[in-house]
Structure 1
Amino acid sequence: MIKAIYNWIDERLDITPLWRDVADHEVPEHVNPAHHFSAFVYCFGGLTFFITVIQILSGMFLTMYYVPDIVNAYASVDYLQHQVAFGVIVRGMHHWGASLVIVMMFLHTLRVFFTGSYKAPREMNWIVGVLILFVMIGLGLTGYLLPWDNKAYFATKVTIQIASSVPFVGEYIKLLMQGGDIVGAQTLTRFFAIHVFFLPAALLGLLAAHFLMIRRQGISGPL
């Protein structure tokens, strides 16, 4: 059945060359765990991407139930957690995945640094990777407020206070993040919009650039 569907699509769009270009791409021997035990460190990037996909899919599920206002935000999360089938599992995956993806990205960054993979001709990809790390941190910070409980509220106040201490532009950053004089309805709305629309759009663009450069330049050699 699947093969018949694939053949039907392939007859009309000729997708086989595109698929072969991806599937038949050879990888260097030093990233093959069967030949080199140290090759496992080259899996950090792939694992980071895998967790990112889980975050996107679970986040899409959560937005079906989440209500981004200060009156109903906590109640909507509580409903998802206790009333929706498998809601507690999906939210748990998204919650712990937010921390795990940062850990995996940090390990991936260390691997790139200590193997010298940031050097020519891959400097631009290193810059894109660092930008992806900042976007991921931003996703974690903005998502932390969304449950709108005491821990999220006061943690966000501390985060905004830290941001306001940036020289020259701190107060502008605070106003942009807070949306007013206090952490309230405008803050929650802004964090939700940034978390669901702005940062994911930036993330997808940066990931596309990251993978394109990896495809063009190949996987870096061993240390």
Structure 2
Amino acid sequence: MLQKVYDWVDERLDITPLWRDVADHEVPEHVNPAHHFSAFVYCFGGLTFFITVIQILSGMFLAMYYAPDIVNAWESVYYLQNQVAFGVIVRGMHHWGASLVIVMMFLHTLRVFFQGAYKKPRELNWVVGVLIFGVMLGLGFTGYLLPWDMKAVFATKVGIQIAETIPVIGPIAKTFLSSGEIIGAQTLTRFFAIHVFFLPAALLALMGAHFIMIRKQGISGPL
């Protein structure tokens, strides 16, 4: 049945050459763990992408139940964990995945740095990777407030105070993040919008550019 559907679409859009161009790409020998034990360090990038996909899918599930206002935010999270089927599992995946994706990305960044994979001709890809790291940190920071419990509010307050110490743009960053003098309803709404719309859009665009450049330049050589 699936083959018939594929054949029907392929007959009209000729998608097989595009798929073959992706699937038939040769992987260098030095990233094959069967030949080189050190090849496992090349898995950090793929693991980061895999966890990111889990974060996106679990986040979509959580967004269907979350209420981004100070009256109902905590109650919606409580309902999700205690009343929705598998809700506690999905939220746990999203919660721990938020930390794990940072760890994997940090290890991937270390691998690229110490193996010199940021050098010519991959300088631009290194810059894009650093921007992705920044977006991931932003996702972690904005998502921390969303459960709207005391721990989240006070941790966000500390984070905004740190942002305020940035030279020149500190006061602007504080006003932008808090949307006022105190952390309140507008802050929660703004963090929700940044976490769900703006940063994911930036992340997808940067990841697309990252993968295109990897495809164009190939995987970097061994140390």
Q: Deviations over 1:70-101 (max 9, x none)?
A: 00000000000000000001000000000000
CA deviation digits over 1:118-165, x for unaligned, max 9?
000000000000000000000000000000000000000000000001
Q: Which runs of 5+ in 2 are unaligned?
A: none
SS in 2 for 1:25: coil
199-208 vs 6-15, greater mean Cα deviation: 6-15
Structure 1 residue matching 2:175: 3-state secondary structure: helix
CA distance in 2 between partners of 1:12 and 1:97 (Å): 40
C-alpha distance in structure 2 between counterparts of 1:133 and 1:50, whole Å: 15
Q: What is the aligned partner in structure 2 of residue 158 from structure 1?
A: 158
- The letter of the residue matching 1:205 is A
Please name the residue that 2:61 is paired with. 61
Give the superposition deviation at 1:2. 1.5
The residue correspondences of 1:135-174 to structure 2 (distance < 5 A) are: 135-174=135-174
1:75 corresponds to which residue? 75
2: distance between equivalents of 1:173 and 1:91? 29
Percent identity reads: 80
TM-score by length of 2: 0.99
**What residue in structure 1 maps to residue 39 of structure 2?**
39
- Give deviations 1:171-208, integer Å, cap 9, x for gaps: 11000000011000010000000000000000000000
Instruction: Output the CA distance in 2 between the equivalents of 1:148 and 1:62.
Output: 15
Aligned length: 223
Find the aligned partners of 2:58 and 2:209 in 1 and give their Cα distance: 24
Runs (5+) with no aligned partner, structure 1: none
Distance 2:167 2:124 in 1: 28
Q: Kindly state the Cα deviation for residue 9 of structure 1 after the two structures are TM-superposed.
A: 1.1
| Paired AA for residue 2 in structure 2 | I
**How far apart are residue 50 of structure 1 and its match?**
0.4
The CA distance in 1 between the partners of 2:216 and 2:81, in whole Å, is 44
2:43 and 2:172 mapped to 1: Cα distance? 40
Q: Which residue does 2:8 correspond to in 1?
A: 8
Q: Normalising by structure 1, report the TM-score.
A: 0.99
